[in-house]
Chain A
């Protein structure tokens, strides 16, 4: 991606965390209720796989199904509310420069890569390994992994149900701002997939910034 980065609007409040997460890496952080997590797609068309847990009760976690059933639409847009498996709001999409984000594509894994692309892909790094690694530092295990959000990823569904990942609709510098509605443990996998267009066949870094309401 060679286009000049687009600068996102200023983030209100006081920045409490600011980090560039390298390509293919895992990340985990607690975002407190009222804080805003900004994700910036620095290189363009970089899928950012994301799971959410109630920071005080990890059994309550993001549910793609509850989220899309409640809003009766598979796409996350500005104003969408990400809901837990108990139906409670976890994050709200406060602002985004992208038309929509994906809820149904899930995460890549070593094992699912073998089905999608061939047995030769078994040893490629994948998002599930990032989730397992990041989650294990908070006492989470494989049992706690569920279908995730994919920020900046494009997964249309055709009239006969044909579904798949196609070229992205993001660009360098585009952002999504997520307001926490509860204290949320956020796990992120900066997707390492190289077998489909979800990262433009070139995984790149993303910037993660957390701001707290109020002046510094």
Chain B
């Protein structure tokens, strides 16, 4: 984990310190972004490196944010299995519009997210479509860990510590887009399959194995906020979350679009998003 060289470097003069600073370029870390994104490797089948717009790996306690354009696909890969990717989405053109988990499950009459499901905003528009999903499920109900819950579970919840609260990480990600804690909602958790019993009880179903992925196609320009941290229902005393890879790319929209009209409610969500795009053209 220690990225620092063991030998004490020579930094006793400005020239030596400058040379030392520049000598570090080219090092790699276990988690980092690929810059430029088009240098990404190990890409999904059919995706050319030139089309990649964002490629980044996060570890437990990590966070990232980025913008994806309407039509782009963003893939989240659970590299190690059983992770929890805490996700929030905002409409980039109107950031007070954001993912609304309640509307997402209510409008689609379905508590569980999977391929074909839409992620809906609070303004009746589709923000993103789940166009592929090889996991065992996700969570649109439980939200993210906070400082208080992590202090109770782990004895520590601050962002600099070993068990940062997902909500605080998301606030740091949000700040990069001029968003604050007011702008955070419950969001959703990828790769954490929460199920509801008949009596309303909540539990985590067995997690996904390594390399499962979920693809989101952006239906509006989006701000994407992601934090990797254990799920609120994960009871393991020293729980951490496995690594998550984010990869987005420019994609052709298939014609006809197999996801656009799978239900009447979903069709109207697409119509409302298309109406917005037309209105601002």
Contacts and interface: CB of A to CB of B under 8 A. Distances in A.
Interface of A: 59, 63-66, 68-70, 72-75, 85-88, 100, 104-107, 109-116, 118-119, 128, 141-147, 155-157, 159-165
A17 B174 CA distance: 40
Contact of A128 (B106, B122, B147, B201): B122
B22 interface: no
Contacts of A100: 200
A171 B222 CA distance: 44
A85 B202 contact: no
Nearest to A128: B122
B147 A87 contact: yes
Nearest to B196: A157
A115 B123 CA distance: 10
A115 B120 CA distance: 10
Contacts of A74: 141, 196, 200, 202
Contact of A162 (B110, B148, B201, B202): B110
Interface stretch (B13-21, B26-34, B52-60, B265-273): B265-273
Contacts of B110: 161-163
Contact of B186 (A63, A119, A161): A63
A111 B125 contact: yes
Given A59-B181, A68-B142, A163 B111 contact: yes
B45 interface: no
B259 interface: no
Question: What 6 pairs between A and B have smallest CB-CB spacing?
Answer: A65-B143, A106-B102, A111-B124, A87-B148, A161-B112, A65-B186
Nearest to B186: A65
Contacts of B120: 112, 115
A147 B185 contact: yes
Nearest to B124: A111
B111 A106 contact: no
Interface residues of B, number: 47
Nearest to A107: B102
Contact of A115 (B146, B202, B269): B269
A103 to B, nearest CB: 9
A155 B43 CA distance: 42
A104 B200 CA distance: 11
Given A119-B268, A163-B110, A145 B198 contact: no
A161 B272 CA distance: 26
Contacts, number: 144
Interface of B: 96, 100-103, 105-107, 109-112, 120, 122-125, 141-144, 146-149, 167, 180-186, 196, 198-203, 232-233, 265, 268-269, 271-272
A59 B182 contact: yes
B125 to A, nearest CB: 7
A69 B233 contact: yes
Contacts of B199: 73, 75
B102 A64 contact: yes
25 contacts: A65-B144, A65-B232, A66-B143, A70-B149, A72-B202, A73-B200, A74-B141, A74-B196, A74-B200, A85-B167, A85-B184, A87-B147, A104-B111, A107-B102, A111-B123, A113-B124, A115-B272, A116-B106, A143-B96, A143-B182, A144-B182, A147-B102, A147-B186, A156-B198, A157-B196
A115 B200 contact: no
A160 B180 CA distance: 36
Contacts of B148: 86-88
Contacts of A145: 122
Given A72-B202, A115-B269, A116-B106, 5 more contacts: A65-B143, A69-B142, A109-B103, A112-B120, A115-B120
